Amino acid sequence: MSSTDPTQPTPATGSPEGSTSTSTSTWPGATEAGTTGTVTDGSTTGTTIDGTTTDGTPTEGEPSWVTRHTTLLITVMVAVIVAALAIAGLTYYRSSVEDRNADTEAAFTAMVAGQGAAVETVECDGDTCSAVISGQAYTVLVQEDEDGEQHFGVAAYTGD
């Protein structure tokens, strides 16, 4: 009497005697499809699904580690290049800001020296400078016109 009950395993063709199989496993001791595991054939070393023998050496004709991980290596190299470009861009930007601030400080010092006073210290950050002239603290506002000339507005420092 043959059974057509879908819950009962049916013998797979080509499987060893006495084993039964469903559509997901084929041999006793084999791992499920798509997973990594050791499949042995009775010898002292077995071959794993990932292409190496159980002692860790690659089998002949299998792809090397570099070949298997090419996508990962390319991704890492691109990430390193992007990070290097970002660092270089940030360094260039900060350098250009420092250069502009130094130019503004030099122009302000020249303007004050042209009026007969001596600048003790000056420090610029963008369009604002702080200066000490003859022992007095000043706040300096910097404007640049369409011709590129800088104009300075100087006010006595008031604050803490």
Is position 6 within any domain?
no
| Alpha carbon 74 to its chain's center | 13
Residue pair 41/29 in contact (Cβ under 8 Å)? The answer is no
Is position 5 within any domain?
no
Measured from the Cβ of residue 36, the count of other Cβ atoms closer than 10 Å reads 10
Is position 75 within any domain?
yes
> Total structural domains in the chain?
2
The 8-class DSSP code of residue 58 comes to: B
pLDDT digit string (tens) for the chain, length 160 residues: 555 666 666 555 554 555 554 444 445 555 555 555 555 555 555 556 665 666 666 666 788 888 899 999 999 999 999 999 999 999 999 999 999 999 999 999 998 888 888 889 999 988 888 999 988 899 999 888 888 888 888 888 776 6
Is position 90 within any domain?
yes
* Residue 38 burial (10 A CB sphere; 0-12, 13-18, 19+): middle
- The C-alpha atoms of residue 16 and residue 38 are separated, in whole angstroms, by 18
Residue 124: name the closest of 103, 151, 93, 149 by CA.
103
Judge if 85 and 150 occupy the same domain.
yes
Is position 64 within any domain?
no
Strand partners for 140 = 129, 154
Q: What is the pTM of this model?
A: 0.49
Is position 78 within any domain?
yes
State pLDDT tens for residues 8-37.
665 555 545 555 544 444 455 555 555 555
Residue type, 40: T
Judge if 84 and 123 occupy the same domain.
yes
Residue pair 53/47 in contact (Cβ under 8 Å)? The answer is yes
Predicted confidence at residue 94, as pLDDT, reads 94
Is position 47 within any domain?
yes
Judge if 112 and 149 occupy the same domain.
yes
* The two structure tokens encoding residue 13: 């063709």
Judge if 82 and 139 occupy the same domain.
yes
